[in-house]
Structure 1
Amino acid sequence: MTVVAGSLVTIVPVIATVPILPPFGLLMLLTWRLLARFALRPWAAAPLGFLDDLLSGQPLGSAVLLWSLCYMAIDLIERRMILRDFWQDWLIASGAILFCLAGGRVLALPVGAPVDGALLVQAGSTILLFPLAARLVAWIDRKRGLA
């Protein structure tokens, strides 16, 4: 539900001169995958990405592809690194965020579109919000375990 809620943030009418709203759905998906490995099934990235595509206006299938690729890459990283700490999770999430935003830019916009500055600001703000998302996911996971 938190991934869906994060994707729903894109439909809130926000007036901005530069579109730098972070992709909260992606942020929540990555946070759940990195902090609570078994909370989401491996196939969950595809339908959640489809829902995000429907809500955000990206071309259909872009988040499905990019989120699924991130999920598989994180699985490969986990097979190599048995123990991780928060800084490594933050680095992995940063790489996945940059990959998804750059991939979404390639899939959605013409190559000559001047959006690279806004994309960098959006990526930076999303990466800086990862610790806050991690606290939220840890709190929800702790409350979920008590119920």
Structure 2
Amino acid sequence: MERLNPRARRDVYGSRINRAHSPVFASVVPWLTIMLGSLVTALPVVSAIPLMPPLALLLLLAWRFIRPGVVPVWAGFPLGLWDDLFSGQPFGSAILLFSLILLGIEALEARFPWRSFLQDWLLASVLSAAYLFLSLILSGARIDAVTITYLWPQALLSILSYPIIARMVAIFDRIRLVRFRVED
């Protein structure tokens, strides 16, 4: 009896079963998206007040909430280092804040392993607002009512943009696991 090529008779869904992913691509995509989020601050956006949300932080939070094992706890140091190079903040502020945020998320996940998207959004909102306020303190700027008033639109935009960023991370995660695969 003639042996048939099993790939020749696969149906539409057969290529998704028993596939092997590219381990390099699967591990590089989360890091690369967060690093590109840090580079967005270099875009020429002209505004009288800071409006650009901390995209690197929001991407880091989205990756951590959607795929907890992809971004390890120690990733706060190198990703914060990269963000410090491009954000204009004093060197070490993002290293400290990214590391503290990831340690806090890890402690929270150990205590409460179940969450919904609304809880993730609430936690991301609190963490991004705290990040912006602590970045203001660490920058050495004069803190007064006007400075804090200018911080609210950026915090509000960060809170409102998290669902969009989380959806983008989910799309990147699907691309990371589906598109590139190692052939047998």
State the TM-score bracket (shorter-chain normalisation). Answer: over 0.9
Tell me, what secondary structure is at the counterpart of 2:146? coil
| Aligned match for 1:100, one of 131, 138, 141 | 131
Give 1:70's aligned residue: 101
| Aligned match for 1:124, one of 146, 152, 156 | 156
Please tell me whether the aligned partners of residues 74 and 92 of structure 1 are also in contact (alpha carbons under 8 angstroms). Answer: no
Unaligned runs of 5+ residues in structure 2 are: 1-31
Is 2:59 the partner of 1:28?
A: yes
Deviation of residue 17 (structure 1)? Answer: 1.8
Backbone CA RMSD of aligned residues: 1.2
Larger Rg: 2
Deviation of residue 84 (structure 1)? Answer: 0.8
Unaligned runs of 5+ residues in structure 1 are: none
Give 1:3's aligned residue: 34
Deviation of residue 67 (structure 1)? Answer: 0.9
Tell me, what secondary structure is at the counterpart of 2:81? helix
Deviation of residue 105 (structure 1)? Answer: 0.6
Give 1:111's aligned residue: 143
Please tell me whether the aligned partners of residues 73 and 106 of structure 2 are also in contact (alpha carbons under 8 angstroms). Answer: no
Per-residue CA deviations over 1:64-118 (Å, capped at 9, x if unaligned) read 0011111011111111112111001001111110111111011111234731112
Identity %: 43
Give 1:134's aligned residue: 166
Q: Which amino acid aligns with 1:118?
A: Y
TM-score (norm 1): 0.95
Q: Which amino acid aligns with 1:26?
A: L
Per-residue CA deviations over 1:12-68 (Å, capped at 9, x if unaligned) read 111112221111111111111111101112111111111111101100000100111
| Aligned match for 2:81, one of 50, 57, 72 | 50
Tell me, what secondary structure is at the counterpart of 1:128? helix
Q: Which amino acid aligns with 2:131?
A: C
Counting matched residue pairs gives 147
Give 2:49's aligned residue: 18
